[in-house]
Amino acid sequence: MIMGSPVTIITGAGSGIGRATAELLAATGHRLVLFDRDKNGLSETREALVTEAEAITIAGDVSDEADVGEMIQKTEDHFGRLDAVVANAGINGVWAPIEDLSPCEWDETIRINLRGTFLTLHKAVPLLKSAGGGAIVIVSSINGVRTFTNPGATAYSATKAAQVAMAQQLALELGKHRIRANVVCPGAVDTNIVAGSEIRNRAETEVPVIWPQGSIPLTDGRPGQAIDVARVIRFLLSAEASHMTGSPVFVDGGQGLLR
């Protein structure tokens, strides 16, 4: 169980769900390690935190072993411990028909989303163990878990499904060390992740499905906000979720059930 002012790593902290989570956790007393490859985004996140928040920023690539190792070393050097990890960094990558999706494009999505999650936990778990326990939250998606209607999202869906399997495997492996591992699976969220996405030949893979009332029942079709996911992450890191591990939690307004 996390006691006192927990030290929490957030990857992909420079925008979207990562930034919203950083703001929420800082306001509730977490000491933060903010990691992202976008230096400007990191600076903006740091400036958005409450003034008394204790946080360090580290720029790096989540799929680079040396960069992730540096993040962990700086965490230990600055705070002397680690209590929680939010493995949030990820990309949509390229969505295209399987025969059109190049091996390089496949590898890039796997590299960031899956290798990045692995490296983060591979390097962080020893510090969590030395602290006597802690909490991990992996940010996955409804895609690849509940819904498969995004055209050409084979690589993305594969990584998101694998993240859920990883959390459930680690929930058992790490339970004896009092480390919990859970997953949040957002649906459509109003963030900038789509800015770096590419969708090719959509018509070749799309299965047209039209919902007259919108595809997110709870909000009349409007996407969720990053803060909606951040609140669930905060709960999963807290003592209130002390008996939860290996659980995928869907934050999608019912979208995954409908689609």
Please identify every residue annotated as catalytic.
156
How many Å separate Cα 225 from the centre of its chain? 14
HSE-up of residue 82 (Cα within 13 Å, Cβ side) = 27
56, 32 Cβ separation under 8 angstroms:
yes
Q: Produce one character per residue of 125-160: b if its CB has 16 or more CB atoms within 10 Å, e if not.
A: bebbeebebbbbbbbbbbbbbbbeebbbbbbbbbbb
Alpha-carbon span 85 to 179, nearest angstrom? 11
Q: ∠ CA 100-101-103 to the nearest 5 degrees?
A: 125
Alpha-carbon span 220 to 129, nearest angstrom? 44
Q: ∠ CA 71-76-77 to the nearest 5 degrees?
A: 95
Alpha-carbon span 117 to 14, nearest angstrom? 16
164, 248 Cβ separation under 8 angstroms:
yes
Alpha-carbon span 131 to 80, nearest angstrom? 9
Residue type (1 letter), 117 = T
Q: What are phi and psi of 253, to 5 degrees?
A: 60, 20
